[in-house]
């Protein structure tokens, strides 16, 4: 189960486990399995429906999570605000309005696919599937968008430095690289590209500070704090732990 599909499932089972934890002396554990199955199946059905409609896993997961939260947490939130004078259907109307606004906002988001060309022009990527986004064609769109974002980012850094009364500390960091498909690029190349992010530091007054060693993203703020705040955080070794089939399954991926 991917991360996108897992989110609505976790939101769905959380209220059930809370109720069981508060009543476990009065409820047999065997009675938990049927409602648990209903929660999981309903959440997965919502995710599947949104995935079919939008063809986008992350967006489907976010929409399904929003609907699940609105359904399962309605009663507890209604009790919490019962003393606020929102009776007579006012809370129901407000709750529904918030749900609709959330759905509209998520539907209109354009995190995926690629939306900018090399010069900032709008582009339309022809396929929203994860496989297409990580294909060689997807990489071409990714690189064009990256060139535009990089140019804008340099302008942002220049503006920050020009308008700051004191020399600013600037940290630019990405969490990962291009999410390539192993079928197109090979497993080793995909891992090498995916797990490597970007770190760029502007550290005025520190001299030749260099970069954290080893240069990984988890060490960036430790390194900056040690330079400016007098802390002595230990810098951590480079390692990556991608998720496997279950949320508690991890396997170390060696980083070069």
Q: Are residues 9 and 103 in the same domain?
A: yes
Q: Are residues 78 and 170 in the same domain?
A: no
Is residue 115 within 8 A of residue 107, CB to CB? The reply is no
Q: Are residues 36 and 102 in the same domain?
A: yes
Q: How far apart, in whole angstroms, are the C-alpha atoms of residue 44 and residue 144?
A: 35
Q: Decide if 40 is inside a domain.
A: yes
Q: What does the pLDDT average to over 69-89?
A: 73
Q: Decide if 183 is inside a domain.
A: yes
Q: Decide if 157 is inside a domain.
A: no
What three-state secondary structure class fits 171?
strand
Residue-level pLDDT at 111:
57
Q: Decide if 117 is inside a domain.
A: no
Q: Are residues 15 and 99 in the same domain?
A: yes
The residue out of 82, 108, 134 marking a domain boundary is 108
Q: pLDDT-derived band of residue 3, with 50, 70 and 90 as boundaries? A: low
Residue-level pLDDT at 164:
93
Residue 57 has pLDDT above 70, yes or no: yes
Q: Are residues 170 and 77 in the same domain?
A: no
Q: Are residues 104 and 171 in the same domain?
A: no
The residue out of 65, 87, 108 marking a domain boundary is 108
pTM over 0.95, yes/no = no
Residue-level pLDDT at 143:
92
Range of the domain at 40: 3-108
Short-list 170, 155, 226, CA closest to 202: 170
170-173 vs 199-202, strand pairing mode: antiparallel
Residues 33-54 pLDDT 10s: 898 999 999 999 999 898 888 7
Q: What does the pLDDT average to over 115-136?
A: 84
Residue-level pLDDT at 88:
57
Q: Which residue has the higher pLDDT, 225 or 112?
A: 225
Q: Decide if 69 is inside a domain.
A: yes
Q: Decide if 138 is inside a domain.
A: no
Q: Are residues 14 and 100 in the same domain?
A: yes
The residue out of 62, 83, 108 marking a domain boundary is 108
Q: Decide if 244 is inside a domain.
A: yes
Q: What does the pLDDT average to over 96-125?
A: 81
Q: What are the tokens at 50?
A: 């949104």
Q: Are residues 94 and 185 in the same domain?
A: no
Residue-level pLDDT at 109:
66
Residues 154-176 pLDDT 10s: 999 999 999 999 999 999 988 77
User: Degrees (nearest 5) of the Cα angle 114, 120, 125?
Assistant: 25
Domains identified in the chain, total number: 2
Is residue 202 within 8 A of residue 214, CB to CB? The reply is no
Q: Which residue has the higher pLDDT, 119 or 114?
A: 119
Residue-level pLDDT at 41:
92
Q: Decide if 92 is inside a domain.
A: yes
Residue-level pLDDT at 186:
85
Q: What are the tokens at 210?
A: 């260099």
């Amino acid at each position: 189960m991917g991360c996108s599909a897992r989110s609505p499932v976790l939101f769905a089972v959380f209220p059930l486990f809370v109720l069981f934890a508060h009543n476990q002396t009065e409820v047999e554990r065997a009675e938990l399995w049927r409602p648990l199955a209903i929660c999981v199946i309903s959440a997965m059905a919502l995710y599947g429906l949104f995935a079919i409609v939008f063809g986008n896993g992350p967006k489907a997961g976010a929409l399904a999570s929003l609907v699940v939260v609105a359904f399962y947490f309605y009663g507890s939130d209604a009790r919490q605000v019962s003393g606020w004078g929102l009776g007579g259907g006012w809370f129901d109307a407000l709750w529904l309005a918030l749900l609709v606004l959330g759905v509209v906002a998520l539907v209109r988001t354009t995190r995926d696919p690629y939306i900018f060309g090399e010069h900032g022009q709008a582009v339309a990527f022809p396929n929203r599937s994860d496989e297409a986004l990580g294909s060689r064609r997807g990489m071409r769109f990714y690189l064009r968008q990256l060139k535009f974002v990089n140019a804008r980012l340099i302008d942002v850094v220049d503006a920050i430095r020009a308008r700051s009364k004191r020399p600013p500390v600037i940290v630019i960091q990405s969490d990962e690289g291009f999410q390539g498909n192993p079928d197109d690029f090979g497993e080793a190349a995909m891992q090498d590209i995916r797990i490597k992010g970007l770190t760029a530091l502007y550290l005025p007054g520190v001299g030749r500070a260099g970069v954290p060693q080893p240069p990984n993203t988890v060490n960036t703020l430790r390194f900056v704090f040690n330079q400016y705040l007098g802390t002595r955080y230990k810098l951590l070794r480079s390692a990556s732990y991608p998720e496997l089939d279950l949320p508690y399954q991890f396997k170390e991926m060696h980083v070069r």
